[in-house]
């Protein structure tokens, strides 16, 4: 009955809105929490200074307010006016009308407004599983056969060692496909796994209850951790057990065509061991050891294996401190040439810091602390696959009470760095054209800009968890609003959500599966004025350089390291009211 009613209301609202619908009103197309700020933006000249909020079912005006003064965007030629309807707190479905501009898409106000999209973003990882078939029960109309089995992967000449000469065959099954392509990269798995494991470390009670309808949902391990396990088991196969070094990636020599996974049978290789991959692996396995220790009964021995693997990797890195992955150089020396994603980081200081931090938080051994002190560097930048230093800050700050007392002062200073960065964002975003921290710097609009927004959200939520000050939560929410539609493109960047979301992501299964709708719960890369794909872009300024074409890997691909921070951000917004209650209860 409830469903029928909401269908009727959706139908009514589309009829009522049929007249004068505009894309110029940019808002969180999914919804707003009744008790938190509600802001939309109008990105077209308005004749009057007024706006109305209307009930989507009855078309009654429930609220009216004044538009802000005009704001000039610093990231495009757009000017905007802000629509603040925070004072309207009643749950329901609404739309906004700006006289002379038009009516917005309809949206929800209520509790748990981000629950479904957050769950779908996590489910997105299930859809990226490489060696499993996705059945109708869990994948719906996106069911598909298993992809690359990776049970016979060839040691590429760049990866040869005495005991595993070139041409040796190993098994490296499982793990998520990285993105729209079908390869598996350790460096990018690193930050992705950290982000999901950290979501669990920050909100365990929330994730213990969460069911995302994956094949493992009925076992006694939280779904989030089951998903992480699927990739962890693959990562463990990427370590050479003889010396501890970790292969940089498991890959085809060149990208597959736009076909379903497993259709092409091109040989798969593990290529060169690298210090970045090995340190990222050491970090993830040290963190996994900490988290899975709590599930020793269900997963006997796993935590210990992870910690041994981590130490072995660390020791390899100590003996090989600066082995870069440089694909051009590699291709001059070895064949076949490898032309898939490089993830070739040139600065490893941050990888050292992060791996040391995870190993220190897990083992409390002084030697790791010494590395932390040596590699700590300010100013810290938002995390990305190539810049993982901040992850060390988060981990040490989170676990500071459990660390040896000699670490306290250093960690307190690291927490201060997080707070400084959070303050820069929280103190300035309300002045921007789209009322979001995204775009405070024009450099936010890079390949995968959506992850910049989500990672800024995580940073702000770390600050919130230290201070419990609402301003950080609200600033984080501003970036959720950005991702879900309050931005210069007018898109909600998560497939399958909102009124206008990507229909043609650069995602091979979505292109090749014959299903009109793209695989849901995937976050598009977002505006990237670099436009390295040379596709047609309707707009080219930093915050508008986005195109919903499947050729556009530079703005419209999807990737695990972009989905993960969006999972964290949106689930955290859902979990935080719950965790506050929980802490109060616990302290009684
Ligand atoms: O599909 C590939 C995508 O995953 C990468 O991010 C991108 C950049 O490395 O490359 C894509 O593959 C394209 C290749 O680089 C050039 N030929 C067309 C391929 C598919 O669009
Ligand atoms: O996310 C990566 C981005 O930072 C780089 O600029 C870009 C070009 O090297 O590669 C991106 O990563 C792609 C990877 O190389 C291959 N799989 C798809 C990834 C997302 O586009």
Q: Which of 11-20, 182-191, 303-312 has the lowest mean pLDDT?
A: 11-20
Instruction: Considering only CA atoms, give the Rg of the chain.
Output: 24
Q: Using one digit for the tens of pLDDT, what is the confidence trace for 559-581?
A: 999 999 999 999 999 999 755 54
**Is pLDDT of 586 > 90?**
no
**C-alpha–C-alpha distance, residues 5 and 82, integer Å:** 32
Backbone angles phi, psi at 108, to 5 degrees: -100, 150
**What DSSP string runs through 131-161?**
SSPBPHHHHGGG-B------SSEEE-GGG--
When pLDDT is averaged across residues 219-232 and rounded to a whole number, the result is 98
466 Cα to the center of ligand 2, angstroms: 33
The rounded percent of the chain whose pLDDT value lies above 70 is 95
pLDDT of residue 577: 77
Ligand 1, atom 13, lies closest to the CA of 255
219 belongs to the catalytic site: no
pLDDT of residue 4: 52
Q: Using one digit for the tens of pLDDT, what is the confidence trace for 328-375?
A: 999 999 999 999 999 999 999 999 999 999 999 999 999 999 999 999
Q: Which of 243, 256, 345, 557 is catalytic?
A: 557
Burial 435-452 (b: 16+ CB within 10 A, else e): bbbbbbeeebbbbbbbbb
Q: Residue for token digits 């979001």?
A: 436
What pLDDT band is residue 377 in, cutting at 50, 70 and 90?
confident
Instruction: Provide the total of helices (H) and of strands (E) in the chain, helices listed first.
Output: 17, 15
When pLDDT is averaged across residues 60-70 and rounded to a whole number, the result is 98
Best residue for ligand 1 mutational test, from 179, 181, 446, 511 (most atoms within 8 Å of Cβ):
181
More confidently predicted of 535 and 11: 535
**Is pLDDT of 583 > 60?**
no
**C-alpha–C-alpha distance, residues 572 and 558, integer Å:** 21
**Is pLDDT of 262 > 60?**
yes
**287 CB-near residues (< 8 Å, 6+ apart):** 193, 194, 197, 198, 358, 361, 362, 395
pLDDT of residue 585: 35
Residue ranges in 400-500 assigned as alpha helix (H) = 408-426, 449-467, 470-483
**Is pLDDT of 287 > 70?**
yes
What pLDDT band is residue 316 in, cutting at 50, 70 and 90?
very high
**C-alpha–C-alpha distance, residues 92 and 411, integer Å:** 45
**C-alpha–C-alpha distance, residues 541 and 73, integer Å:** 11
Ligand 2, atom 4, lies closest to the CA of 447
0.85 surpassed by pTM? yes
**C-alpha–C-alpha distance, residues 577 and 113, integer Å:** 13
**Is pLDDT of 584 > 60?**
no
**CA distance readout (Å), 431 to 72, 434, 435, 471:** 10, 8, 6, 14
Q: Using one digit for the tens of pLDDT, what is the confidence trace for 174-205?
A: 999 999 999 999 999 999 999 999 999 999 99
**Is pLDDT of 582 > 50?**
no
**Is pLDDT of 13 > 70?**
no
Q: Using one digit for the tens of pLDDT, what is the confidence trace for 506-528?
A: 999 999 999 999 999 999 999 99
User: How do 153-155 and 269-270 pair as beta strands?
Assistant: parallel
pLDDT of residue 286: 99
Q: Residue for token digits 């990737």?
A: 559
Question: Which residues line the pocket of ligand 1, CB cutoff 6 A?
Answer: 179-181, 255, 341, 553, 557
Structural tokens at position 245: 């070094």
Q: Which ligand lies nearest the alpha carbon of 258?
A: 1
Map residue 558 onto helix, strand or coil. strand
Map residue 461 onto helix, strand or coil. helix
507 belongs to the catalytic site: no
Structure letter (DSSP) for residue 32:
E
**C-alpha–C-alpha distance, residues 206 and 403, integer Å:** 25
Q: Residue for token digits 């024009």?
A: 442
Q: How distant is the alpha carbon of residue 238 from its chain centre?
A: 23
Q: Using one digit for the tens of pLDDT, what is the confidence trace for 69-127?
A: 999 999 999 999 999 999 999 999 999 999 999 999 999 999 999 999 999 999 999 99
Structural tokens at position 341: 């994603």
Q: Count CB-CB contacts under 10 A for residue 137.
A: 9
**C-alpha–C-alpha distance, residues 418 and 143, integer Å:** 42
Q: Using one digit for the tens of pLDDT, what is the confidence trace for 468-481?
A: 999 999 999 999 99
User: Does 448 sit in the ligand 2 pocket, CB within 6 Å?
Assistant: yes
**C-alpha–C-alpha distance, residues 354 and 362, integer Å:** 12
CB of 185 within 8 A of CB of 560? no
**Is pLDDT of 588 > 90?**
no
**Is pLDDT of 542 > 80?**
yes
């Amino acid at each position: 009955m409830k469903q029928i009613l909401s269908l009727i209301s959706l139908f009514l609202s589309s009829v009522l809105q049929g007249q004068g619908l505009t894309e110029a009103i940019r808002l969180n197309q999914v919804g707003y929490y009744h008790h938190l700020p509600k802001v939309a933006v109008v990105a077209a000249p308005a004749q009057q200074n007024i706006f109305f909020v209307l009930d989507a079912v009855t078309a009654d005006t429930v609220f009216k307010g004044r538009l802000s003064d005009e704001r000039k965007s610093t990231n495009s030629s757009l000017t905007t006016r802000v629509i603040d309807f925070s004072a309207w707190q009643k749950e329901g479905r609404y739309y906004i009308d700006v006289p002379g501009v038009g009516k917005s898409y309809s949206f929800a106000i209520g509790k748990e407004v981000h629950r479904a999209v957050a769950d779908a973003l996590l489910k997105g990882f299930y859809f990226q599983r490489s060696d499993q078939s996705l059945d109708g029960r869990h994948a719906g109309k996106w069911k598909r056969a298993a992809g690359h089995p990776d049970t016979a992967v060839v040691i590429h000449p760049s990866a040869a060692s005495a005991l595993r000469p070139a041409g040796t065959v190993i098994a490296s099954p499982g793990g998520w496909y990285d993105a729209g392509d079908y390869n598996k990269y350790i460096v990018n798995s690193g930050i992705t796994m950290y982000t999901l494991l950290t979501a669990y470390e920050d909100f365990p009670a929330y994730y213990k209850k969460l069911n995302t309808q994956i094949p493992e949902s009925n076992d006694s391990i939280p779904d989030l951790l089951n998903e992480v396990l699927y990739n962890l088991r693959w990562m463990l196969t990427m370590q050479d057990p003889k010396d501890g070094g970790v292969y940089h990636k498991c890959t085809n020599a060149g990208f597959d065509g736009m076909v379903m996974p497993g259709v092409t049978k091109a040989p798969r290789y593990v290529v060169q061991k690298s210090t970045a991959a090995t340190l990222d692996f050491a970090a993830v396995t040290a963190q996994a050891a900490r988290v899975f220790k709590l599930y020793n009964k269900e997963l006997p021995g796993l935590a210990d294996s992870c910690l041994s693997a981590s130490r072995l990797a660390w020791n390899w890195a100590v003996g090989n401190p600066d082995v870069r992955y440089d694909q051009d150089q590699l291709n001059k020396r070895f064949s076949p040439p490898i032309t898939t994603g490089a993830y070739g980081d040139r600065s490893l200081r941050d990888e050292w810091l992060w791996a040391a931090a995870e190993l220190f938080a897990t083992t409390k051994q002084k030697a790791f602390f010494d590395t932390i002190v040596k590699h700590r560097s300010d100013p810290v930048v938002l995390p990305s696959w190539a810049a993982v230093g901040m992850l060390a800050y988060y981990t040490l700050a989170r676990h500071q009470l459990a660390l040896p007392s000699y670490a306290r002062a250093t960690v307190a200073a690291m927490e201060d760095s997080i707070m400084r960065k959070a303050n820069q964002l929280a103190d300035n975003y309300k002045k921007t054209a789209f009322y979001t921290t995204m775009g405070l710097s024009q450099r936010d609009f890079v390949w995968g800009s959506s992850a910049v927004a989500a990672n800024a959200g995580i940073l702000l939520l770390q600050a919130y968890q230290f201070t419990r000050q609402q301003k950080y939560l609200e600033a984080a929410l501003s970036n959720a609003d950005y991702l879900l539609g309050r931005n210069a493109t007018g898109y909600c960047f998560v497939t399958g959500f909102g009124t206008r979301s990507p229909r043609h992501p650069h995602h091979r299964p979505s292109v090749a599966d014959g299903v009109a709708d793209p695989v849901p719960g995937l976050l598009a890369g977002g505006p990237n004025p670099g436009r390295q794909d040379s596709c047609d872009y309707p707009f080219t300024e930093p915050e508008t350089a986005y195109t919903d074409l499947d050729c556009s890997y530079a703005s419209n691909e999807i990737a695990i390291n972009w989905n993960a921070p969006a999972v964290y951000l949106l689930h955290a917004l859902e979990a935080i009211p719950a965790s506050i209650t929980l802490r109060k209860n616990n302290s009684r």
